[in-house]
Amino acid sequence: AFSSPGLLVLVPSTTTTKTTSSIRMSASSSPPSTSSTSSTSTTFAINTKYKIQPKYKSEFLKVMKDVATKSETSLQYVVGQGYDEDENTFYVHEEYETRSQYDDIHCSTKSEHYETMKQFFDTEKPFDEEPTVDMFALCHDYDGPHSSKTAKEGEEVVCLNVELCIHPTIRQEFLKCIRQNKAGSDNEPKCLQYTWGENGNEPNTFHFHERYVGEDGLSAHNDAPHFKVWEEFAGEGEPFGRDPVVQKFRELLL
């Protein structure tokens, strides 16, 4: 059974693996556009999946901690780890005010910590497979993590990165449904973040990043009325152009 964005209990984090450009190639991708969604947001976001060789895991986490703690110009930098058999797979969500801000950091040597990361990736070849990189422009005004809602010390934050490719014929219905889902999710006590946007290189391909306080927060989202509306939409006909990609991971406090 499939339910998303939000419900991952029935879908393992490795449901679908898609082939995309490596992180070194991603910087040359075309900037996403939000014109077709009537959004004025210029916020640029990236979801990345890294599958690391076990012997490089400690060094990888050291590099990512350095980046996460020194990324002063990013709006958000989240690093997470897959569950159980997926423990050598790591997920990153980044947000920047604009695409050009991202390029200034990643495509030049202005940032020492990003240069260190690039050198590690280029010289050590730590990956079991090439990273997958999804770049997208937010389809809503930037709201970031909800500052009024935080996980208590010791509580796990469950994160989701989702990709949905929908048929153009149901685009408007999809947008209406997802906007409603976001509005409802933003009011959930244990939903820390519900961010979504469209891929600038692949029209009608949408990416999501969601954060919940523990499994209880995720379950509450799955049981919410607005999510039931989404489930009904996703279950009618065949709205998806290809299989959804759903990834579940826990946020790391680096």
pLDDT 10s digits, 1-24: 233 343 322 222 333 333 333 332
Distance (Å, rounded) from C-alpha 159 to C-alpha 250? 6
CA-nearest of 209, 205, 138 to 166 is 205
| Own/partner pairs, 100-109, CB within 8 angstroms, 24+ separation | 101/44, 101/73, 102/44, 102/46, 103/27, 104/73, 105/71, 105/73, 105/74, 106/27, 107/27
pTM score, two decimals?
0.83
CA neighbours closer than 13 Å in the CB half-sphere of residue 59: 15
Exposure of 133 by Cβ count < 10 A (0-12 exposed, 13-18 middle, 19+ buried)?
buried
Q: In DSSP terms, which residues pair with 126 in a beta bridge?
A: none
In one-letter notation, the amino acid at residue 21 is S
Chain mean pLDDT for the chain: 82
Task: Please tell me which residue, 20 or 245, carries the higher pLDDT value.
Answer: 245
What pLDDT, in 10s, does the model give residues 147-162?
678 898 999 999 999 9
What pLDDT, in 10s, does the model give residues 94-117?
999 999 888 877 765 566 777 788
Share of the chain above pLDDT 90, in %: 59
Distance (Å, rounded) from C-alpha 79 to C-alpha 228? 29
145 within 8 A of 37, measured Cβ to Cβ: no
What pLDDT, in 10s, does the model give residues 39-50?
557 899 999 999
What pLDDT, in 10s, does the model give residues 186-237?
999 999 999 999 998 999 999 999 999 999 999 999 999 999 999 999 998 8
